[in-house]
A and B are shown apart, each in its own frame.
Chain A
Amino acid sequence: MAEQKKKHKKRRTATRAAASIGPMVKEFIAGTVRAQREGAQKLAYSFIVCHHEEILRAMDVLPIWTENFAGVCGAKRDAERFLQRAESLGFSRSLCTYALCGLGFDHWREELGEMPPDAPWGGQARPDFMISTGQILCDPRAKWYQAAQQYMPDVPIYNIDLPYPLYHPDRDHREELPYYHKYIVEELKGLIAFVEEQTGKKMDYERLWERVRLSDKTWNLIEATYDLRSAIPCPMGTGDAMNTMVPINFMMATQDAYDFFLNLKQELEEKIKKKEGVVENEKYRLLWGGGLPSWFALGDFNYFNSKGAVFPAETTYRMVAPIAEMNIPKTDDPVEHLAWRWLGYWTFWYDKARQRKGGEPDVERLINYIERYKIDGVVMHEAFSCRTWHVGLIWQLHQLAKIYKPIPVLRLGKDGNKTQAWRENPSLVLESDIIDITSYSEVDTRNKIDAFIDTLESVAKSRVD
């Protein structure tokens, strides 16, 4: 069952900050294993993007980000043996491969009563409880921990449901917000009660406020930091952002996350001053417009770089938005604030989308980034096993091409006359998976990238502005 492990070359990063992430994650994972051994802190299996980090941190609960651990296995090209184990337990390969990897790992660890041999970075610690979620309509997020409970029947689960109003071009979502808000507050309070029961501690609401304020401050700092990437040449690309997503998604509500972005901001400002870009001769600026990356193939970002292409922005894992623009109502209750922030984030692009004919929030975000970061082309990745994040990506590209044509060109008519026309940004859809390496072909991927670069070149030549 064990796959042949080959030493995989480390990816080059452009920033010092991104390079520091690997050891940080390693230490974080080792820290959870230590904490479990020492028993001083309670550990909770958790999913990212649930706005509950503040609650967990305020109650000294250490989250174990199960998606992160699966991603680490993928990045180390060591997921296959856990995927195979999950398959042998009857789980289909077409389910979320993060979930499969986690389930394969958990089953192995529980069977042995210790970490599986050569567990990546020391392995994933056994949790005291699990917090699943129906968030973003992801079925594995609700079902994964239920399945894991087969191997850990003594570990309780709390499921947190975090909905938000769907977009409608002719309906103001604000009318529905109070209902959603009330519901989410109840869900978060339910979580607090559950954690209180599990830890035997009472929530200190002053401490919770401190954590919430720290997160808000970090959100704004991340926005300011990432905005620096609009500089030409671009000082940091998406390849690095796939590292710097760690403090955004796994360390929120900690001083470390805030300090990390302070350092990164400073580093980017220095690079901009020195006109130091990710690539020496920047030719194309690309937007990573959607899709989780193939963690085992992050070197593809370097391949783009070798062609003079850089990614100044990405929608993936940028799970923050400017707080000041959300019009969050004033409240004394940190839980209420968290619920408003949740709704503010997910409805952030609604008003802007309504102002454009055929507009749609996700597409509006793409357009905003294309303009803000001076983008020439859009790249997406369809990871087959994560339907949640990937359903609709192609539709977004189609809609984008339909409603947004920023490139002026001359078109030869049937009468032989040339007239001015506008065309869409070129786009590329890569296909593979988050951690299932069997779905990936380096030759195919790079051939596709080559063809895309040729397309960008010819579109650039045909521009008439």
Chain B
Amino acid sequence: MKCVMGIDMGSFRVKGVLWCQGSESVTFECPSGGDFEATARRAQKELLLISGRSANEIVGVLSTGYGSKSVMFADETRSDIACQCIGVHALFPSARTVIDVGDLHSKVFSLDENGAPLKFLLSGNCAGGSGRVLQIIAKVMNMKVEEIGEVSLKSKKPVDFSTGCVVFAESEAVSRLAEGVPKEDLLAGIHRALSSQINSLAERLGIEEDVVLVGGGARNPGLVKTLREVMGRDILVPEGPHMTAAYGAALLAGSLYNFKEM
């Protein structure tokens, strides 16, 4: 059987999708670690293991993401924006604006009715506008990053963060905690600050509906809620929002090798 593979080598996690013709796709993800090349190989191995396929059934591998060039066994490499557009378009054909909250950057891009990217903007070099700020604050609070979104939803009085800079946000969080501010209010505040930054990025690009939120940040219910509030509009979130680039990469690989529907 012919199979294709999409690998999204993110700076924080690697995500892989294996798609074999005529069967359901399988997925795998794990932390990227320090050695991207080795992690990519691990993802390849795990995907084969889960699917019960062998390496010689794979006719094409397409890599994307921050470390895409470290995926040495990839036949093709495409930008994550191109792959996200394809992945999101397959799930939501009505999507015209995509917000991708990743580890290093938040990205906003617009796509046309065929899922082709039209324009994009990235948050600046400071991690204050990306998912990294949530990881840093989670660490300050001695919590797992996966937990902080839920906790933030309990807030009655979100704290006002006076900065968008991740270093200042960290020290502000420490001093607010020392003042005795409840965890949930602090977390709601940081989610709101990040949402405001993402919103201004989206406004700069120009927002067209429907808006879809993807990336690791989209798994955080606190961020989804505040972003909806700050943007004042509905935002669609797919199931497994962090997998859309890998999914798009597999779809693109499939189209390069003339696969039919997934």
Contacts and interface: CB of A to CB of B under 8 A. Distances in A.
Interface string A409-434: 10110000000000100110101100
B247 to A, nearest CB: 17
B53 interface: no
A294 B161 CA distance: 33
A224 interface: no
A461 interface: yes
Contacts of A448: 122
B213 to A, nearest CB: 18
A299 to B, nearest CB: 16
A369 B238 CA distance: 42
A451 B120 contact: yes
Contact of B125 (A409, A426, A441): A441
Contacts of B104: 444
Contact of B79 (A412, A429, A447): A447
Nearest to B120: A451
Interface stretch (B109-117, B138-146, B219-227): B109-117
Interface residues of A, number: 27
A462 B112 contact: yes
A454 B78 contact: yes
Given A412-B113, A423-B118, A458-B116, A451 B80 contact: yes
Q: Is the interface of A mostly helix, strand, loop or mixed?
A: helix
B246 interface: no
Q: Which of B104, B113, B125 has the most CB of A within 10 A?
A: B125
Interface in A364-387: none
A431 B79 contact: no
Contacts of A452: 120
Contact of B81 (A394, A398, A454): A454
A102 B78 CA distance: 41
B79 A454 contact: yes
B151 interface: no
Nearest to A426: B119
A427 B124 contact: no
Given A412-B113, A455-B120, A431 B125 contact: yes
A459 B118 contact: yes
Contacts of B67: 443
B204 interface: yes
A447 B122 CA distance: 11
Interface in B58-76: 66-68
A429 B121 contact: yes
Given A443-B66, A447-B79, A447-B80, A458 B118 contact: yes
Interface in B25-81: 66-68, 77-81
Nearest to A428: B120
A172 interface: no
A455 B105 CA distance: 18
B134 interface: no
A451 B125 contact: no
A431 B113 CA distance: 30
B82 interface: yes
A450 interface: yes
21 contacts: A394-B204, A426-B119, A429-B121, A431-B124, A444-B104, A444-B105, A444-B125, A447-B66, A447-B68, A447-B79, A450-B79, A451-B82, A451-B120, A452-B120, A454-B78, A455-B118, A455-B119, A458-B82, A458-B117, A458-B118, A461-B116
